[in-house]
Amino acid sequence: MQKGFFEPEYLKAIPSDNLEAVVYLSDEFDRFHKQVSIALGSDHHQEPRRVKFHEDYLEALAIFRAFTEARRVEIKLPDIGPHKMGNIIEILNNLGPLGNAWRTELSKRTSNSLYSEKTEHYTAIFNSIEVYEFNDADLKRIQILTNELMELISSSNLITTDHKRRLLKRLEGVQREIHKDTSDIDRFWGFIAEAGIVARKFGDDLKPISDRATELGRIVIAVVMAKEGIKALPDITKLLGQ
């Protein structure tokens, strides 16, 4: 693959959410294809000369295929034939529209998520439903902690791939779930449960992750207990196997 594209560090940072991951890979493929086009120039001989990048286009397709197999995502990808230019055309005709379709789907999901959040907020007002109220300092710290946790989990050499995927997916859910007025924190409890399993499995070797998960848990649980009028907070460290 051409230097500067689909680097190992880039692939290691792929989102655990499959929809976001396909868009992530598609953006990198579009960047690669655009750079190739710039290198070839705009004259009418551009397409025949694109054949010299045949191996790079094949490698890009191989990355997509490996992703779909690893994540068990059903995406139809083109077959490879004997003709280099024909392969490149098939790859371009497939990966280009694929990226556009998934970007549209991601944008739709983001809008639906925002719509649901606002609907939940005003439903709570109209129905006098109590909500968990996070102040700005809490929200800022939660964002910092979740970002640090994602980085630590992604780079960990101890946590298995399956555990990483589940932890990151739940953390992304926590980021979407917790806002100023939240009436549901199911994804937070899901993350704490998964983090507890991993902490018990690896113990002190995951202390940087456990410490941040503990702080995140204390912030959220303090808000939950305050809403319920409970002053004595549970020991979050017991949930995380510390």
Domain ranges for the chain: 8-105, 130-239
- Residues forming a β-bridge with 133: 181
Q: What is the DSSP letter of 6?
A: S
Residue burial 130-158, b: 16+ Cβ < 10 Å; e: rest = ebbebeeebeeebeebbebbbebbbebee
Instruction: Write out the E strands in the chain.
Output: 132-133, 181-182
User: Which residues on adjacent β-strands are paired with residue 181?
Assistant: 133
CA–CA separation, 16 and 33 (whole Å): 25
Q: In 127-160, which ranges are continuous DSSP H helix?
A: 136-155
Q: Are the C-beta atoms of 156 and 206 separated by less than 8 Å?
A: yes
pLDDT band at 51 (very low <50, low <70, confident <90, very high): confident
Dihedral angle over CA of 159, 162, 167, 168, nearest 10: 100
pLDDT of residue 57: 92
Please give the biggest Cα pair distance in the chain. Answer: 75
Determine what percent of the chain is predicted with pLDDT higher than 70.
86
Higher pLDDT, 227 or 159: 159
Backbone angles phi, psi at 182, to 5 degrees: -120, 130
Q: Which of 173, 188, 192 is nearest to 113 (CA)?
A: 173
Q: 83-97, 210-224, 226-240: which has the minimum mean pLDDT?
A: 226-240
What confidence score (pLDDT) does residue 166 get?
85
* Mean pLDDT, rounded, for 157-179: 83
Per-residue pLDDT band for 179 (boundaries 50, 70, 90) equals confident
pLDDT on residue 158: 85
- Is pTM, for the whole model, over 0.85? no
What percent of the chain has a predicted confidence (pLDDT) above 90? 11
Grouping H, G, I as helix, E, B as strand and the rest as coil, residue 177 is helix
Angle, CA 91 vertex, CA 87 and CA 97 arms, to 5°: 155
- Length of the chain (residues): 242
Q: For residue 47, what pLDDT band results from cuts at 50, 70 and 90?
A: low
* Alpha helix ranges (H) inside 41-135: 46-49, 54-71, 84-126
Predicted confidence (pLDDT) at residue 61 exceeds the cutoff of 90: yes
Return the beta strands (E) in 10-125 as ranges.
none
Average pLDDT over residues 121-142: 76
